[in-house]
Amino acid sequence: MTQSSYPVQEVLGVPIAAMTLEGALDLIDETIAAGKQIQIGVVNAAKMVNMRRDSMLRADVLSSDVIFADGISVVWASRLLGRPLPERVAGIDLMHGMLERGRQRRYRVFCLGATDEVLQRTVERIKLDYPGVEVVGQQNGYFDTADEPAVAAAIKASKANILFVAMTSPKKENFLGKWGKGLGVNVCHGVGGSFDVMAGKVKRAPALWQRLGLEWLYRVKQEPGRLWRRYLVTNTLFGLAVLREMVSPAPLDKPNVVRHPGAPRR
């Protein structure tokens, strides 16, 4: 499978790759083997809602070379709309799959994001669980806009095959939208809170909760004060958007293209 040959389904105006996790990993392996570059975007219900009210986030996500359905609700919506996606391709599963395949292929990885403590634990887990993968650089996610050129330069100098960006949305999308194409990394992948899970700071929902589409609720259960309102609002708005699309399908409105000040031209 090549970057130009995979099928795509449009869900609420977002072109999502109709691929399985294994197919996504094959695409990544082929990209690295060919010395090419691919920037991965992932969407869930909350992000798709926020893309409708944040033009820069929308432009940055849509600038990705391939977009996967990170949330099971997006997969369900695709089927209700008659544009079925085969399965969920969760960002954290994609990360672990890349690391697992990297054991044999000796991939070079740069880890960006989280706190220093979580980042160090994550790097240690990668070295322990995935021998053969080389961590060629790390940087916490707490840096200012003024520091971005130095962070980008360090990533480029590392000659990494894979960049994992473990920052919150929209910061990770904004960073990749601004710098990703110029980093010289084969695969850029925003993994959100995956480092927190890998480091043992946050527990991932059990498989049954994931299959039932309740992973978001499990997260709220762990951090109710911070997350309950966010998920309640975005899940409701996402459901309403899907319902409107079912009742009255509308053509995709072209997003405004937002250029980041000082960003390298693509």
| Pairwise pLDDT comparison (62 vs 263), residue with the higher score | 62
- With bands split at pLDDT 50, 70 and 90, how would you rate the model's confidence at 70? very high
Residue pair 89/24 in contact (Cβ under 8 Å)? The answer is yes
pTM over 0.85: yes
DSSP at 261: T
Q: Which two tokens stand for residue 266?
A: 């693509």
pLDDT number for residue 206: 77
- Residue 215 confidence (pLDDT) above 60: yes
pLDDT number for residue 184: 97
* pLDDT tens-place string over residues 13-56: 999 999 999 999 999 999 999 999 999 999 999 999 999 999 99
Mean pLDDT of 60-78: 95
- Average pLDDT value for the chain: 89
Residue spans of alpha helices (H) in the chain? 21-33, 45-51, 55-62, 72-80, 91-105, 116-129, 148-158, 171-179, 194-198, 207-211, 215-222, 224-247
Mean pLDDT of 209-233: 71
Angle subtended by helix axes 72-80 and 224-247, to nearest 10: 10
- Residue 265 confidence (pLDDT) above 80: no
pLDDT number for residue 180: 96
| Pairwise pLDDT comparison (13 vs 205), residue with the higher score | 13
Whether a cis peptide bond, with omega within 30° of 0, leads into 170 is yes
pLDDT number for residue 207: 77
Q: What percent of the chain has pLDDT over 70?
A: 87
Lowest mean pLDDT among 139-143, 152-156, 176-180, 255-259: 255-259
- With bands split at pLDDT 50, 70 and 90, how would you rate the model's confidence at 262? very low
Selection from 240, 231, 230 nearest residue 77 by Cα:
240
Residue pair 91/70 in contact (Cβ under 8 Å)? The answer is yes
Residues in Cβ contact with 135 at an 8 Å cutoff, skipping those fewer than 6 apart: 109, 110, 111, 123, 126, 127
* pLDDT tens-place string over residues 87-120: 999 999 999 999 999 999 999 999 999 999 999 9
- With bands split at pLDDT 50, 70 and 90, how would you rate the model's confidence at 228? low
Distances (CA, A) of 75 to 88, 138, 178, 192, 261: 6, 33, 28, 19, 35
- Residue 225 confidence (pLDDT) above 90: no
pLDDT number for residue 261: 37
* pLDDT tens-place string over residues 162-193: 999 999 999 999 999 999 999 999 999 999 99
**String of DSSP letters for 164-200:** EEE--TTHHHHHHHHHGGGS--SEEEE-TTHHHHHTT
pLDDT number for residue 227: 65
pLDDT number for residue 257: 39
- Residue 139 confidence (pLDDT) above 70: yes
